């Protein structure tokens, strides 16, 4: 399992603590493709929400709250991201 970011932006993309969610970088999209090619699970915990639709295989959010049921920010995810 590979986590793409930890709270703050990096070369792969935005973290959940960033004020603006820029999603994946061009490099980040290539990283996700390679992770998927290797059949490794992508973990979206601590990433921005713009990444939740960027993969061709199922993803996981290994730990987070749900915005609709928990009034927090940071690692919580929107209910629309949970299936």
Alpha-carbon gap, residue 8 to 34, rounded angstroms: 22
Q: How many CB atoms lie within 10 A of CB 6?
A: 12
The residue ranking higher by pLDDT, 12 or 22, is: 12
Domain range enclosing 69: 1-83
In total, how many domains does the chain have? 1
Q: How many CB atoms lie within 10 A of CB 27?
A: 12
| Residues 6+ positions from 25 with CB-CB distance below 8 Å | 11, 12, 13
In which residue are the tokens 């603590």 written?
17
pTM: 0.69
pLDDT average, residue stretch 10-22: 84
- What tens digit of pLDDT does each residue of 38-83 get? 999 988 888 877 655 667 888 888 877 665 554 455 545 554 555 5
In which residue are the tokens 């603006």 written?
20
81 contacts 49 by C-beta, under 8 angstroms: yes
- What tens digit of pLDDT does each residue of 25-45 get? 889 889 988 999 999 998 888
């Amino acid at each position: 399992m590979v986590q793409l970011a930890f709270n703050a932006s990096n070369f792969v993309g935005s973290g959940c603590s960033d004020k603006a969610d820029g999603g994946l970088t061009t490099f980040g999209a290539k990283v996700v493709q390679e992770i998927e090619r290797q059949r490794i699970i992508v973990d979206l915990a601590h990433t921005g929400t713009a990444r939740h639709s960027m993969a061709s295989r199922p993803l996981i959010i290994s730990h987070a709250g749900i915005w609709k049921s928990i009034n927090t920010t940071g690692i919580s995810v929107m209910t629309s991201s949970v299936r």
